[in-house]
């Protein structure tokens, strides 16, 4: 926890939500998080956690970034004109 968030007064700018699952013995955890800036959120924390001792007991089998556009069409216009 302290590796993930070294300064309690300045926590990583992300919201986390995990889902444990057990489907007939296929067990695991889906880690999900939400942030405005991936470099400042997930990636900054993940770099600090790289190589930590408990990582020996985990196996990452997949992952992805999903982008949630804001309401309205302005983001679409900006994307097309870029």
Which spans of this chain sit near ligand HEM (rule: CB under 6 A)?
Answer: 1, 4-5, 8, 11-12, 16, 29, 31, 42, 45-46, 49, 58
Considering beta carbons, is residue 17 or 67 the nearer one to ligand HEM?
Answer: 17
Are 54 and 33 in contact by the 8 Å Cβ rule? The answer is no
Considering beta carbons, is residue 17 or 72 the nearer one to ligand HEM?
Answer: 17
- Closest to 4 in 3D by CA, of 31, 29, 36: 31
- 29-40: b or e for each residue (b if 16 or more CB lie within 10 Å)? eeeeeebeeeee
| Minimum gap (Å) between residue 4 Cβ and ligand HEM | 4
| Minimum gap (Å) between residue 11 Cβ and ligand HEM | 6
Find the Cα–Cα–Cα–Cα dihedral 65, 10, 56, 39, rounded to 10°: 30
| Minimum gap (Å) between residue 35 Cβ and ligand HEM | 10
């Amino acid at each position: 926890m302290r590796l993930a968030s070294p300064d309690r007064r300045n926590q990583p700018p992300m919201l986390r939500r995990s889902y444990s699952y057990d489907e007939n013995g296929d067990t695991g955890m889906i880690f999900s998080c939400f942030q405005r800036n991936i470099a400042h959120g997930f990636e900054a924390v993940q770099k600090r956690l790289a190589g930590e001792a408990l990582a020996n007991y985990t196996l990452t089998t997949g992952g992805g970034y999903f982008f949630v556009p804001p309401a309205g069409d302005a983001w679409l216009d900006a994307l097309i004109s870029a």
